[in-house]
Structure 1
Amino acid sequence: MKSRGGRVDIAEVAKRSGLPASTLRFYEEKGLIASMGRHGLRRSFDPGVLERLALIALGRASGFSLAEIADMFTPEGQLSIDRKMLLTKADDLDKTIKKLSAMRDGLRHAAVCKAPSHLECATFRRILRAAANGALAEKQRSTFE
């Protein structure tokens, strides 16, 4: 690791995190990470930035916005996550999983349906009505079996 006095060069942070330097600069602009200064023209970071970037990546993968992720840190940079917010996000993910499962099951049915055309398939017609009513997420998996 290119380290100078406990600092890590932006190129090394980019390489180890898998994020382009432009994303690191954007995160710094948004206050999600902070550089320790510059060595020449290059920003340098505390090695702990990699853990913080992993936390940001986990938050993004879980569907949190950058603003929500920023709120998970105190002004001093310590992690302080609202557990109620985590439960709310978990509930949101459950709804998304249910919706995606229903869509997957519908696609699987449409792929093997014996009807001459999809529009002649009663199950496919139910899927269309559900989608038109915005109720696809609420359909039980059994609807598509």
Structure 2
Amino acid sequence: MLDIAEVAEKSGLAPSALRFYEKRGLIASDGRNGLRRTYRPEILDRLALITCARGAGFTIAEIAKFLVATPGDTELRARMAEKAKQLDDDIARLIRMRNSLRHASTCRHEPLVECPGFKREFEAPARKSQAAAG
């Protein structure tokens, strides 16, 4: 068993966040050791999932639904598919930014933001599609 301080240290979350997640039903303590809440070690996996979902933009309410979802939860599954598409868009945007920064870090063009290689990463998707088709 892990006490709340150990879970906080291992998860990188504040004890207040753990208490908040418990109050919202996202996690459950397994009891107490004196005045401290105790948790099973598996709680760290659940907290990693919650942290990842929060980072992806899910609300606490959405995460709570997700944690008890069944294959028959069609509305939630549609929301998950929508969120996956949003994440694909975010990933593509971040990759473009990373690539342009890598290019700019070695580019000699003045000013850097006018470099054709740098600008190419930020062309509008519609223009890229037209260029690829035509």
Same fold (TM over 0.5): yes
- Seq. identity, %: 47
Residue 35 in structure 1 maps to residue 29 in structure 2: yes
Q: How many residue pairs were aligned? A: 126
**Where do residues 121-140 of structure 1 align in structure 2 (5 Å cutoff)?**
121-122=115-116, 124=118, 135=124, 140=128
Q: 1:20 to 1:139 in 2, by over 3 A?
A: farther
Q: 1:71 to 1:124 in 2, by over 3 A?
A: same
| Contact 1:27/1:33 (<8 A) preserved | yes
TM-score calculated relative to the size of structure 2: 0.63
Max Rg structure: 1
**Where do residues 1-145 of structure 1 align in structure 2 (5 Å cutoff)?**
3=1, 8-45=2-39, 48-74=42-68, 79-80=69-70, 82-118=76-112, 121-122=115-116, 124=118, 135=124, 140=128
Specify which structure has the higher proportion of helix.
2
| Contact 1:28/1:35 (<8 A) preserved | yes
| Contact 1:35/1:43 (<8 A) preserved | yes
Show structure 1 runs of 5+ residues with no match: none
Distance 2:113 2:67 in 1: 52
TM-score calculated relative to the size of structure 1: 0.59
Root-mean-square deviation over aligned CA pairs: 3.6
Q: Which amino acid aligns with 1:9?
A: D
Q: 1:100 to 1:47 in 2, by over 3 A?
A: closer
Of the structure 1 ranges 108-117 and 86-95, higher mean CA displacement relative to structure 2 is found in: 108-117
1:35 Cα deviation (Å)? 2.9
